[in-house]
Structure 1
């Protein structure tokens, strides 16, 4: 599996969110660098698990659609 990456815009938005959370909830000012390190750590720690869960969810959804395929398109060919 290739490394999970974020667009610069998305990473910046997450860093702002982390800084805001620490400021409002913990009364602590984080530098942009420290917020970026937290985002990077969470991406490495949680990214693969979230990705794998998404793949399983899509697989289950598609399997359900495939299971319904016979009922949706089946044509009785008996004479």
Structure 2
């Protein structure tokens, strides 16, 4: 199960209470809001978490593909700088 830090959990519970009051015109108690949050975290949280992991993996794959472009060094380039100079007579 996904755990939230205490402060984030308190903010989420307060947000659920406000949602019920403003959207459904019903009061929901602190305990009920906490229970609903726990249900969401256990039931839906893993799907959101797994999607976030997939998103991060894709972004990392794209960044890894760019590493070659950013740090690539030409191999065996020492003599090329001499070969491009005009020849002495």
- TM-score normalised by structure 2 residue count: 0.81
Describe the superposition over 1:9-68 as per-residue Cα deviations: whole angstroms up to 9, x where unpaired: 111111100000101111111111100011001111111111111111111111101111
Structure 1 residue 78 displacement after superposition: 3.0
For 2:76 and 2:69, locate their aligned partners in 1 and report how far apart those are by CA, in whole Å: 16
1:29 aligns with 2:5: no
The alignment's C-alpha RMSD in Å is 1.0
What does 1:1-79 correspond to in 2, within 5 Å?
3-79=1-77
| Structure 1: runs of 5+ lacking an equivalent | none
Q: How many residues align?
A: 77
- TM-score normalised by structure 1 residue count: 0.90
Higher gyration radius (CA) = 2
More helix by share: 1
| Structure 2: runs of 5+ lacking an equivalent | 78-89
Moved over 3 A (4+): none
